[in-house]
């Protein structure tokens, strides 16, 4: 009876928590196709030989190793503001649902930068790997990893989730409210919220605490020494992606933006200002000069008149806004 009471209490506590794993079921895979095939599910980082892809028939993420046999799929679960206050000295439990067609050494681990806890299997079949870690008061982060050390095998991962408490629940709302990488805009402040970064500044390289956003940007707007650059949107208007339509007739000639490596009809490309080709017609009449009278200035057919007017750019009426990008 005591064990049952404890279980109920722990379950009720877990139900009040949030899922620390972003993209826990690999629904977001924004950089899986051209122009920059990345191979990482959004929010995740892949290291090692092999590949990471989508198995749409089984709705899972497929981790495939090569001859070296070492492949790691990881996520930094602490990437949100003031994470120490929430996680320090708490117990965190994580689960991963994996399927192995053949024997393979696969493990799930949690690390706070000081202590690492691990759960593993090496037999074919379906498994729920579970690991629990008491996050230290001096923790430097919280990293979740799925590792495979067997050459030339496939590991199917359907979902991974983690939360505070001794029981991991798969149906909790995510710590990230929304989608990492989405752009937002504000009309009454020049300071971005804590979960967002300003795009109205010179291009900056993401720091080490933004690996999930880095996985989404995928160097689309350039790369610093190690990670993606944020786009510099100062003063720019936005335009919907043409995506093969005829609305933007010059879409295929769109340019790289800043240090970007993407051009043509793709998201994140630049199109310079331009006037549409047009004619100005001014109607003139021939004026005859009667003989013997004072001379009259004649304006003949084919003459042109040039008038210059306007300001420094072509623009509609507009209101300046703060653009931001979501990272947590």
The two three-digit tokens of residue 298, written as one number: 């004649």
Which of 75, 327, 38 is closest to 181 using CA atoms?
A: 327
Asked if residue 284 lies in contact with residue 300, where contact means CB atoms within 8 angstroms, the answer is: yes
Q: What is the pLDDT of residues 146-176, one digit of tens each?
A: 999 999 999 999 999 999 999 999 999 999 9
* Separation CA 163–CA 132 (nearest Å): 10
Query: E strands, the chain, where?
Result: 45-48, 51-55, 60-64, 71-76, 91-100, 106-111, 116-121, 125-134, 143-148, 154-164, 183-186, 196-198, 322-326
Arithmetic mean of pLDDT over the chain:
88
Report which DSSP code applies to 255. B
In the chain, what's the furthest Cα-to-Cα distance?
A: 126
Query: What's the pLDDT score for residue 20?
Result: 98
Question: 170-228: per-residue pLDDT in tens?
Answer: 999 999 999 999 999 999 999 999 999 999 999 999 999 999 999 999 888 888 999 99
Strands of the sheet containing 51-55, edge to edge, are 51-55, 60-64, 154-164, 91-100, 125-134
**Residues 183, 195: Cα–Cα separation, whole Å:** 12
Per-residue pLDDT tens digits for 94-145: 999 999 999 999 999 999 999 999 999 999 999 999 999 999 999 999 999 9
Question: Which residues neighbour 252 within 8 Å (Cβ) at sequence distance 6 or greater?
Answer: 264, 265
pTM: 0.85
- 166-170 long-range contacts (CB < 8 A, ≥24 apart) are 166/10, 166/14, 166/91, 166/93, 166/132, 167/7, 167/10, 167/11, 167/14, 167/93, 168/14, 168/93, 168/94, 168/95, 168/130, 169/11, 169/14, 169/15, 169/17, 169/19, 170/24, 170/95
How far is Cα 147 from Cα 47, in angstroms, rounded to an integer?
10
- In terms of pLDDT, which residue wins out, 273 or 207? 207
Q: Assess whether pLDDT exceeds 90 at residue 278.
A: no
Burial 213-226 (b: 16+ CB within 10 A, else e): bbbbbbbbbbbeee
Domains of the chain are 2-164 (2.60.120.260), 178-328 (no CATH)
Look at residue 23 in the predicted model and tell me its pLDDT: 97
Tell me if residue 205 falls in helix, strand or coil: strand
């Amino acid at each position: 009876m005591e064990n049952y009471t404890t279980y109920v209490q722990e379950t009720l506590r877990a139900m009040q928590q949030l899922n620390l794993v972003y993209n826990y079921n690999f629904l977001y895979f924004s950089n899986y196709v051209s122009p920059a095939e990345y191979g990482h599910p959004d929010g995740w980082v892949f290291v090692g030989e092999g590949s990471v892809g989508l198995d749409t028939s089984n709705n899972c993420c497929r981790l495939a190793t090569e001859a070296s046999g070492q492949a790691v799929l990881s996520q930094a679960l602490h990437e949100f503001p003031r994470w120490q206050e929430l996680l320090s000295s708490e117990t965190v439990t994580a689960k991963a649902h994996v399927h192995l067609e053949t024997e393979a050494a696969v493990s799930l681990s949690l690390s706070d930068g000081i202590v690492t806890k691990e759960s593993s299997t090496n037999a074919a079949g379906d498994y729920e790997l579970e690991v629990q870690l008491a996050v230290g008061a001096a923790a430097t982060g919280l990293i979740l990893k799925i590792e495979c050390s067997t050459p030339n095998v496939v590991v199917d991962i359907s979902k991974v989730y983690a939360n505070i408490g001794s029981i991991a629940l798969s149906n909790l709302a995510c710590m990230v409210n929304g989608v990492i990488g989405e752009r937002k805009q504000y009309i009454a402040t020049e300071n971005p919220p804590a979960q967002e970064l300003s795009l109205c500044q010179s291009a900056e390289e993401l720091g080490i605490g933004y690996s999930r956003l880095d996985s989404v940007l995928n160097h689309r707007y350039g790369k610093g020494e190690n990670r993606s650059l944020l786009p510099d949107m100062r003063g720019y208007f936005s335009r919907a992606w043409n995506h093969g339509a005829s609305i933007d007739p010059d879409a295929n000639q769109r340019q790289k933006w800043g240090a970007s490596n993407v051009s043509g009809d793709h998201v994140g490309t630049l199109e310079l200002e331009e006037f549409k080709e047009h004619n100005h017609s001014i109607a003139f009449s021939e004026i005859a000069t009667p003989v013997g009278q004072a001379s009259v200035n004649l304006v003949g057919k084919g003459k042109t008149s040039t008038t210059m007017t306007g300001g420094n750019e072509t623009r509609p009426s507009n209101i300046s806004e703060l653009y931001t990008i979501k990272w947590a």
